[in-house]
Amino acid sequence: MAEVLQFCFSGLTVGAVYALVALGFTIIYNASDVVNFAQGEFVMLGGMVTVALAAAGMPLPVAAVAAVGVAAVVGVALHRLAIEPARGASPVGLIIITIGASIFIRGIAQVVFDKQFHKLPAFSGDTPFAVLGATILPQSLWVLGGTAAIVVGLHVFFERTLIGKAVAATAANRLAARLAGINTTSMMTLSFALAGAIGAVAGILVTPITLTSYNVGTLLALKGFAAGMLGGIGNPLGAVLGGLMLGLIEAFGAGYLSSAYKDGIAFVVILVVLFAFPRGLIGKRSAERV
Amino acid sequence: MLAVEGVVTAYGRIVALRGVSLDVSEGEIVALIGANGAGKTTLLRVISGIQPIQAGHIHFAGESIDRLAAHRRVAKGILHVPEGRQVFGPLCVEDHLRLGAYLRKDAAIAADIERLYARFPRLKKSRHRAAGNLSGGEQQMLAIGRALMGRPRLLLLDEPSMGLAPMLVDEIFDVIIDLKATGITVLLVEQNAVAALAIADRGYVIETGAIVHSGTGRVLLEDPKVRASYLGL
């Protein structure tokens, strides 16, 4: 029983990070139809920039906010400099552009920072809580709480603010959004900034647990993509559920099968999803009448 | 108010408009009729800025708008209700109306929404429903309502009666006549050419990307060539 609970805790913690990466995929995909494989790089930037600024003497919270800003700016640059000039390119072409951008960002990070692994101190210490025989790190609670806060924040943004609704309208029907006077290009840029910021938050929250380095983004992007596929690409709720499920599947797989297969599990999930239910668990249903 | 001069545009290599000129004066209803593929929809698209032009000029209220982005033309009062309604499927009716006023900064938005609900009671009943679940007629009313929330000076209507039951078609045409009474200028594209010309002050006939006839609604309705080719009479 304690073992199951332990796997749940570690699975949900990792899953929350996958969920945030998958949310980034979803936000960009909905606004612009681009599958952004540079999403993992935002997570890397969140961790690495915070580490670098903290090492330079900045207080951790300030460094973290600055890192979120940097990732958002990188997101804007990615859209303006790489995606927007290629408007009208095929989906595969756009995916390759984002893969190129991710290699570029990783290369720059390698030069600007270094190739070492880095750690951040846990926000509230390292003393684990005991829960029914299992233990949970305070930092895990930060990861879960941070993820929950972002999900609630996004919900409020999309449901309660005019600009959030304009982004949702752009996602639903780009032509009609333009005809309503919405600058859809700006909405897409905003989506990239938002995805960048969310990715960075994930990176900052998880670095005290998993460490970070210039190349952590690649695998996270693939895991986040798998989570997004599992939940149904384009569906924010699906992204969150898919991320948490993938984390749990990985934790139980690593615990009961072998931790050697941990990273392979995400890819098995992608294959199963594509074969069995290609629209994901909560596939995007189109409600249109002609 | 609107002056289109020698406008040329193409989709890839297919030329859709080959030098179209047309005028719309303030307060008029102008109907644009023609066969499928003649360029009616394309002409509305170049006026609203969704489709770029390769030659020619478009002036609105005395200003050149040739190079203006679509959302800036909305700010100038050119609102386009596109073919096939194009609602935001998952968003509710009220969100559509609020987004229709996206560029407005004035305080009258809430009052305008209530006025629209008074004109279209069926939208009020469905105000919190997702637009994708509305009937075709309700979606058409919503598309028009969304455009009206942008306070149009010129309203471009593309096939507003398409696919609607006859009773609803009459309702749509009543709405268009009402719009004229409130001072909104209308450029109307319709398959239902007889009905369109009957309410129009003037009409243009477009054929393979060029204007081939023009005149008052009545003159076109009585023109034997127009009757035979476009009105099926």
Instruction: Give the pLDDT mean for B99-104.
Output: 96
Q: What is the pLDDT of residues B214-232, one digit of tens each?
A: 999 989 999 888 888 877 7
For A287, the closest of B50, B80, B89 (CB atoms) is B89
**Which residues of B make CB contacts under 8 Å with A?**
48, 50, 69-71, 74-75, 79-82, 84, 86-91, 95, 98-100, 102-103, 130, 132-136, 139, 143, 146-147, 150, 163
Percent of chain B with pLDDT over 90: 86
Q: What is the pLDDT of residues A223-269, one digit of tens each?
A: 999 999 888 888 889 999 999 999 999 999 988 888 888 888 888 88
User: With helix as H, strand as E and coil as C, how does chain A read?
Assistant: CHHHHHHHHHHHHHHHHHHHHHHHHHHHHHHHCCCCCCHHHHHHHHHHHHHHHHHCCCCHHHHHHHHHHHHHHHHHHHHHHHHHHHCCCCHHHHHHHHHHHHHHHHHHHHHHCCCCCECCCCCCCCCCEEECCEEECHHHHHHHHHHHHHHHHHHHHHHHCHHHHHHHHHHHCHHHHHHCCCCHHHHHHHHHHHHHHHHHHHHHHHHHHHCECCCCHHHHHHHHHHHHHHHCCCCHHHHHHHHHHHHHHHHHHHHHCCHHHHHHHHHHHHHHHHHHCCCCCCCCCCCCCC
Task: Report whether pLDDT(A287) > 50.
Answer: no
Q: What's the confidence (pLDDT) of residue B228?
A: 83
For A166, the closest of B74, B102, B146 (CB atoms) is B102
Q: What's the confidence (pLDDT) of residue A275?
A: 85
Reported as half-sphere exposure (CB side, CA atoms, 13 A), residue A192 has a value of 27
Q: What's the confidence (pLDDT) of residue B100?
A: 97
Question: Given an 8 Å threshold on Cβ–Cβ distance, is A177 in contact with B163?
Answer: no
Least confident of A144-158, A223-237, B8-22, B131-145: A223-237
pLDDT averaged over every residue in chain B: 94
Minimal C-alpha gap between B212 and chain A (Å): 29
Domains of chain B listed by start with CATH number: 2-85+152-231 (3.40.50.300)
Least confident of A233-237, A275-279, B198-202: A275-279
Question: Given an 8 Å threshold on Cβ–Cβ distance, is B102 in contact with A289?
Answer: no
Task: Report whether pLDDT(B126) > 60.
Answer: yes
Instruction: Give the pLDDT mean for B112-123.
Output: 95
Q: What is the pLDDT of residues A73-104, one digit of tens each?
A: 999 999 999 999 998 899 899 999 999 999 99
Smallest CA–CA distance from B129 into chain A, residue? A287
Minimal C-alpha gap between B62 and chain A (Å): 21
Contacts of A289 in chain B (CB under 8 A): 132-136, 139
In chain A the first and final C-alpha atoms are separated, in Å, by: 54
Contacts of B132 in chain A (CB under 8 A): 286-289
For A162, the closest of B70, B87, B102 (CB atoms) is B102
Question: Given an 8 Å threshold on Cβ–Cβ distance, is A180 in contact with B150?
Answer: yes
- Beta bridge partners, B216, equal B202
Q: How confident is the model at residue B6 (pLDDT cuts 50, 70, 90)?
A: very high
Domain boundaries, chain A: 2-218
**Which residues lie below 8 Å from residue B129, measured CB to CB, with a gap of 6+?**
B92, B93
- Is A148 part of the contact surface with chain B (CB cutoff 8 Å)? no
Question: Given an 8 Å threshold on Cβ–Cβ distance, is A179 in contact with B50?
Answer: yes
How far apart (Å, rounded) are the C-alpha atoms in residues A40 and A42? 5
Task: Report whether pLDDT(A48) > 60.
Answer: yes
Question: Given an 8 Å threshold on Cβ–Cβ distance, is A165 in contact with B69?
Answer: no
Minimal C-alpha gap between A153 and chain B (Å): 19
- Is A288 part of the contact surface with chain B (CB cutoff 8 Å)? yes
Instruction: Give the pLDDT mean for A38-48.
Output: 97
pLDDT averaged over every residue in chain A: 92
Question: Pick the residue with more confidence: A61 or A235?
Answer: A61
Q: What is the pLDDT of residues A134-167, one digit of tens each?
A: 899 999 999 999 999 999 999 999 999 999 999 9
Contacts of B84 in chain A (CB under 8 A): 290
Q: Which of residues 41-100 of A touch B (CB under 8 A)?
A: none
Question: Given an 8 Å threshold on Cβ–Cβ distance, is B74 in contact with A172?
Answer: no
Q: How confident is the model at residue A286 (pLDDT cuts 50, 70, 90)?
A: very low
Cβ neighbours of A123 (radius 10 Å): 17
Instruction: Give the pLDDT mean for B120-128.
Output: 95
- Is A179 part of the contact surface with chain B (CB cutoff 8 Å)? yes
Q: What's the confidence (pLDDT) of residue B173?
A: 94
Q: What's the confidence (pLDDT) of residue A283?
A: 60
- Is A168 part of the contact surface with chain B (CB cutoff 8 Å)? yes
Q: What's the confidence (pLDDT) of residue A290?
A: 41
Q: What's the confidence (pLDDT) of residue B36?
A: 87
